[in-house]
Amino acid sequence: MCEGCGGVHAFARGVHSGRCYSLVEMAKKETATELDSIGGEWLDEHRRNKASSEKVDGVHQDFMYVMISLLDGNTIDGIDADTLIKSTVL
């Protein structure tokens, strides 16, 4: 039995590390983790393509390439470029 809710709402809750979380909160965290992973993969792929011998011109450039060009290596208000790019693109 979960100490946080005393089992009162056990039908609508899951137990994680001894604390009680609603299933909605758990699903939101899982979705955020998956989106972060997908965004990271896209960002890595765009960086590899940009660094490869393939020419990235205006025709083949997309929004993520523009964001990398503008923000790569910078931080804004303590937020790193990767986080800014992924959150803007997603």
**2-43 pLDDT per residue, tens:** 555 555 555 455 555 555 668 888 889 999 999 999 999 999
CB 71 within 8 A of CB 81: yes
pLDDT for the residue numbered 53: 56
CB atoms within 10 A of CB 39: 19
Phi-psi region of 78 (alpha: psi -120 to 50; beta: other; left: phi over 0): left
Domain boundaries, the chain: 25-89
